Chain A
Amino acid sequence: MKRHLISAADLSRDDAVLILDTAEEMARVADRPIKKLPTLRGRTVVNLFFEDSTRTRISFEAAAKRLSADVINFSAKGSSVSKGESLKDTALTLEAMGADAVVIRHHDSGAPHRLATSGWIGGSVINAGDGTHEHPTQALLDAFTMRRRLAGGEGDLNGRRITIVGDILHSRVARSNVHLLTTLGAEVTLVAPPTLVPVGVETWPCEVSYDLDAVVAKSDAVMMLRVQRERMNAAFFPTEREYARRYGLDGERMARMPGHAIVMHPGPMNRGMEITAEVADSPRCTAVEQVTNGVSIRMAVMYLLLGGNEPALSTPSTTSTTRTEENK
């Protein structure tokens, strides 16, 4: 593993499978009466959020705490620090506080990359979503969910057909998923109105379709992306109703999916827009499961970035040994 997790493109197949396997072990911890590992005791993880996302922040926070790390939540949103200086100055502050890892969510694409490569801080950087660039832990938890549902919880996703539907242009989730899922051997198809597909998509390792009905029947998983209603005002599509009709997932379309196929959503859902309540609440929809899996994945990522080569689940005895050695 590298020191940082900035882009899903940085992960080899083996890296990705290692993270998924480690996350499986972490998931087992959640089934224990005491859901805590001592692995990152004494280490400091900072959640640096320049953009509101309670869901993502508490997922990272829960993951870090289950690994016994000290967690500092730093919300830079709304602070009046002049733009530009804020990231660097905040980074220098965190460095002075001895952050071992910085989990960063930022409205600008590339901000985590800058944080990791500018020399401002020495710790690991974990990208928790940057602008319209990437959200690698989301892609990992999606892959984890798919692997459990579609591949028996082990190996990769070789040959699985995954359809991602919605605002591809502005989606960091889509970008990370295209990288990661293809690395894991899946065949990815993006579905969106042409206005919401980036110019330059032709070099991506996936198919692009403008017709959802043409692909649902051959999908093992259909991932619905959140579509902001405001996009309508910039003429990306004419009306909410037209979007929902052409690109939304309703019960009728879901019924045409293969029996084993799942519906995914990174949340929060726009019910009535990209997904109907019927689909959102059906047992085929994994949205809630994805949230649970998110904690396991983030534990695995932090463990692998910060914990080095020790076994994922350090037994109580190894932990006490370590502590004794430290005391000598």
Chain B
Amino acid sequence: MGKTLIRGAKVLGGEPQDVLIDGETIAEVGTGISAEGAEVIEAEGKILLPGLVDLHTHLREPGREDSETVLTGTKAAAVGGYTSVHAMANTFPVADTAGVVEQVWRLGKESGYCDVQPVGAVTVGLEGKKLAELGAMHDSAANVRVFSDDGKCVDDAVIMRRALEYVKAFDGVVAQHAQEPRLTEGAQMNEGIVSAELGLGGWPAVAEESIIARDVLLADHVGSRVHICHLSTAGSVEIVRWAKSRGIDVTAEVTPHHLLLTDELVRTYNPVYKVNPPLRTERDVMALREALADGTIDVVATDHAPHPHEDKDCEWGAAAMGMVGLETALSVIQHTMVDTGLIDWAQVADRMSFRPAAIGRLEGHGRPVSVGEPANLTLVDSAYRGAVDPAGFASRSRNTPYEGRELPGRVTHTFLRGRATVVDGKLA
């Protein structure tokens, strides 16, 4: 691998600088760096970010290769500017043993487009009854640090308490999908004005908030850290804000779609808007944006959830929940957070790279753009404007809620340890 000179990019949105990549690492950062022997990327006006890190990705392999594989999912990740993704455990079989997490980890290594950090299930089969072998998954080659039954809530308070305590032995974290199951039986969308009119089963905000409230109190009690997946309501924001003010070790994520879309879209009955947790109201969206800006919400996570066409080309009630998100995440964040003046690019780097890597205890990702660091980098053309065209997705699935919507920004280059995985917006 040779040298690459990224010339004149605004590093984290700051002053234009040259960044020289030599092999797998950043060799020089400054101005007027010699291009001798290097391939040059003219990056004037573009934003250079550390490679993005996703804490919440569904890669579907093993088991649902019809919707995504580790290979297609990591390609989608690279296109979206990611250099590391956490693969959620709700595969078939469930990633609840060292064997399965090692398989996913190995598939990630083979793909070469993006590092894959498997998430281990908290309980056997995601059933919420019996702890999975958390220690074995951590001790495996996959070195699992994040554990989640995502898709399902660890609703039993005792199991949750034990899991929070147990993973302390290896600095793990439980990522909770906060959804009180009894309050959401038959739930199809956010419970409120729109669900009342549409006659769709309501998914009350309190079903999320009550679990978050319980879990921050549990984490406090046993002195553990806890991570809240895809926070979606204004009330959840208030609880996390309160918990942080008390010094409780809680972190939280928000998805791009919950920062932009509302339950009004469900009036179309188009299942592309069906997602878990459901799209909420305008008031929730605004509270989430504010919380991401002020740091109450630590990170943006995609909850990239690919589904085959037939699982969305049907009536609402029969449709699967979830949206793809890897390839549009940064654009949605630019649109909702940067172009609105809520955060700057340095904060984007923080919420989409530094902090998710820190929560996942990843080494080699979420590092500053400075000499000696691994060259995991993302170059963004923030002036770009274009309509989302799912036909061009690298993901195997097309279930995006943004089809035809004009969004700003485009990843032109992604580097994984010095190797370009994306060049001029296309997979290398």
Chain A positions near chain B (C-beta within 8 angstroms): 83-85, 87-88, 106-111, 113-114, 117-118, 130-134, 172, 175, 198-204
Contacts and interface: CB of A to CB of B under 8 A. Distances in A.
B192 interface: yes
Contacts of A110: 198, 200, 269, 315-317
Contact of A108 (B193, B270, B310, B317): B317
A131 B314 CA distance: 15
Interface of B: 188, 191-202, 204, 268-270, 310-311, 313-319
Contacts of A88: 313-314
Nearest to B318: A84
Contacts of B268: 113, 117
Contacts of B201: 132
Given A110-B200, A110-B269, A83 B318 contact: yes
Nearest to A130: B199
The 10 closest A-B pairs by CB, nearest first: A200-B196, A108-B317, A133-B199, A110-B269, A84-B318, A84-B314, A132-B199, A198-B196, A200-B193, A109-B199
A99 B315 CA distance: 20
Contacts of B191: 199-200
Contact of A203 (B193, B199, B311): B193
Contact of A199 (B200, B204, B313, B316): B204
17 contacts: A87-B315, A106-B315, A109-B198, A111-B316, A111-B317, A114-B315, A131-B199, A131-B200, A133-B199, A172-B199, A198-B195, A198-B196, A199-B192, A200-B191, A200-B195, A201-B196, A203-B197
A201 B197 CA distance: 8
Contacts of A200: 191-197, 202
Contacts of A85: 310, 314
A107 B318 CA distance: 10
Given A114-B269, A198-B196, A108 B202 contact: no
A108 B195 CA distance: 13
Nearest to B201: A132
Contacts, number: 85
Contacts of A83: 314, 318
Given A84-B310, A113-B269, A199-B191, A108 B196 contact: no
Given A84-B310, A199-B191, A199-B202, A109 B317 contact: yes
Given A84-B311, A85-B310, A108 B194 contact: no
Nearest to A198: B196
A216 to B, nearest CB: 25
Contacts of A198: 195-196, 202
Nearest to B185: A234
Contacts of B192: 199-200
Nearest to A113: B269
A108 B311 contact: no
Contacts of B317: 107-111, 131
A133 B198 contact: yes
A87 B318 contact: yes
A172 B315 CA distance: 17
Given A200-B192, A203-B193, A114 B316 contact: yes
A85 B314 CA distance: 6
A134 B199 contact: yes
Nearest to B196: A200
Contacts of B315: 84, 87, 106, 108, 110-111, 114
Given A84-B318, A109-B317, A113-B269, 18 more contacts: A85-B310, A87-B314, A87-B315, A107-B317, A110-B198, A111-B315, A114-B270, A114-B315, A117-B269, A132-B201, A133-B200, A199-B195, A199-B196, A199-B202, A199-B204, A200-B191, A200-B194, A203-B196
Nearest to B313: A88
B354 to A, nearest CB: 39
Contacts of A133: 198-200
B197 A175 contact: yes
A204 B194 CA distance: 11
Contacts of A203: 193, 196-197
Nearest to A118: B313
Given A109-B198, A175-B197, A199-B204, A84 B319 contact: yes
Contacts of B195: 198-200
Contacts of A108: 315-318
Contacts of B319: 84
A297 to B, nearest CB: 21
B397 to A, nearest CB: 16
A132 B199 CA distance: 5
B60 to A, nearest CB: 18
Contacts of B270: 114
Contacts of B197: 175, 200, 203-204
B263 to A, nearest CB: 10
B312 to A, nearest CB: 9
A58 B191 CA distance: 35
Contacts of A87: 314-315, 318
A199 B198 CA distance: 12
Nearest to A175: B199
Contacts of B194: 200
A189 B269 CA distance: 28
